[in-house]
Amino acid sequence: MDKILVLDFGSQYSHLICRRIREFSVFAELVPYDISFEEIQKHNPKGIIFSGGPSSVYSLKAPVPENKIFEMNLPLLGICYGHQLIVDKFGGKVKRANKEYGSSLLTIDNDSDLLSGIGQSVRAWMSHGDEAEEIPSGFKIIGHTQSAKAAAIASDEKSVYGIQFHPEVVHTEQGSEILKNFVLKICKAKQDWTMEGFIETAVEKISKIDGNVLCGVSGGIDSTVVALLIDKAIGNRLKCVFVDNGLLRLNEEKEVENMFKENFKVNFTSINAGQQFLEKLKGVEDPEAKRKIVGEEFIHVFSNFAKKEGPFKWLAQGTLYPDVIESGVSKGPADVIKSHHNVGGLPDWLNLEILEPLRELYKDEVREIAKILGVPEKLFMRHPFPGPGLSVRIIGEVTPIKLEISKVASKIVEEELIESGFYTKVWQAYAAVGDDKAVGVVGDERKYGNIVMIRVVDSIDAMTADWTRLPHGVLEKMSNRITNEIEDVTWVTYAISSKPPATIEPQ
């Protein structure tokens, strides 16, 4: 399989480069900027991309790759900081400039290869404080903006390119086409990354493991696909366990049991541990503490089950690439945004090896696999649900009242989205509740009740998200139902913060 390597210099968008390239069926992998020359040779890439990053090339601690990488005669594309690295490495000059964040008009000066078919000008997303003052000998300017005269440069002889803007973000018009030009036309990579191929490879790898596998299933698409892949590979050596932790959607425990026993017919056990989880969460307000408590309690439950029903060698989980990135355990220098119970919160005493078949996939790729495996559309189009459950949608301490409010209000939000035809058009939707209260009037009487926050977002891969502009009529119906049907609620608000700076979940 042809591969593009993306060297991560710490940009918040690094992972999106891989995501965009995979959209046109070429495998792209994110690796640390200081990967050795020998490791790169083992990957045998068709081309290399330097990501952006927060550093300056003239900083004492500026991240730089091995010099031999520049001598590999492979096509090379530098983005933002990567562009400045190329300018500096090949003898040009980089200077401090007025910070430029946001959309700029990119004028195309040469459309022969990298910018082929883009048009005369496009809006491009800028995020930089340095820029090229002098381009290296042998390079030419192929695009400029009003503030950056060398916003895109090229060396045809070396197949080396630098662009000051970010083609990987949706704010850059034709950004995917620019990446496609580099990957398909310049690197000549084959489009052989398919989910059918992934299934075949994953099943083959899993079939070679020894020992039995314990798989925690939640009813969500990720753990369901993991279970079906492993079942396809090892059959009876898989045991699926569903833990009702008391933090699930309304009536979810019954739906999950019916689905696995009747639809998929895999080896399945359900464990009611709700009281156990809620006891552990008593008095805990810090969101990271809640995540880790839920994660560790999951492992306790699985570990106890494994001792009774084992032996098991493996614990399978539905970890996805965004989980890995946000938990700060990816291959690049990403900051920790939040821990996830299946990557960041595993305790040291765990006596099972971890099996994560989907670890390098994005959500929409998992949905494609689900479709191929015959998962009902109702399930694979279901909105993502956090591993720690409603504990991260309840701000502050998890209490029975707040838990019930969150369950019922979220169900109302989902029902109204389905009724209005918006459910499959948005990425995720739910209702959250905290400790804030407000005065309302119910039946001509003053009432001091809870405030519910509705959160609905649009996204492609959950790494960035924008709040959904729902029609006012839909919001009005949600609000009316929540305040009428839930006794303890007096106000309903709508969250209009995007990610970044916010995250999708409130905690």
**Residue ranges per structural domain of the chain:** 3-186, 195-380, 399-494
Pick the CATH number of 399-494 from 3.40.50.620, 3.40.50.720, 3.30.300.10, 3.40.50.300: 3.30.300.10
As a whole number, the mean pLDDT across the chain is 89
pLDDT at residue 128, rounded to an integer: 63
pLDDT at residue 286, rounded to an integer: 93
pLDDT(289) > 60: yes
Q: What is the pLDDT of residues 56-65, one digit of tens each?
A: 888 888 899 9
The CA angle 361-363-364, to the nearest 5 degrees, is: 100
Bridge partners (DSSP) of residue 124 are 104
pLDDT at residue 127, rounded to an integer: 74
Q: If we measure between CA atoms, which residue out of 87, 111, 77, 103 comes closest to residue 179?
A: 77
pLDDT(331) > 50: no
pTM of the model: 0.73
pLDDT at residue 101, rounded to an integer: 67
pLDDT(48) > 80: yes
pLDDT(341) > 70: no
Distance CA 139, CA 191 (A): 29
pLDDT(353) > 80: yes
Q: Phi, psi at residue 330, to the nearest 5°?
A: -80, 180
Judge if 195-380 and 399-494 fold alike in CATH terms. Answer: no
42 contact partners, CB below 8 Å, separation of at least 6: none
CB 340 within 8 A of CB 329: no
The one catalytic residue in 166, 340, 341, 383 is 166
Distance CA 385, CA 500 (A): 19
Pick the CATH number of 195-380 from 3.40.50.620, 3.40.800.10, 3.40.50.150, 3.40.50.920: 3.40.50.620
The one catalytic residue in 18, 100, 131, 168 is 168
Name the helix (H) or strand (E) containing 63: none
The one catalytic residue in 80, 187, 215, 240 is 80
pLDDT at residue 13, rounded to an integer: 81
Say whether 166 is catalytic: yes
Distance CA 507, CA 393 (A): 7
pLDDT(303) > 90: no
pLDDT(409) > 80: yes
Say whether 168 is catalytic: yes
Q: What is the pLDDT of residues 314-326, one digit of tens each?
A: 989 888 877 776 6
| Segment 352-375 mean pLDDT | 89
Say what percent of the chain tops pLDDT 90.
Answer: 61
DSSP-assigned states of every residue in 164-209: SS-TTSTTSTTHHHHHHIIIIIIS-------HHHHHHHHHHHHHT-
State the pLDDT confidence band at 349, using cuts at 50, 70 and 90: low
pLDDT at residue 260, rounded to an integer: 84
Distance CA 87, CA 376 (A): 51
State the pLDDT confidence band at 384, using cuts at 50, 70 and 90: confident
pLDDT at residue 330, rounded to an integer: 47
Domain covering 3-186 in this structure, CATH number:
3.40.50.880
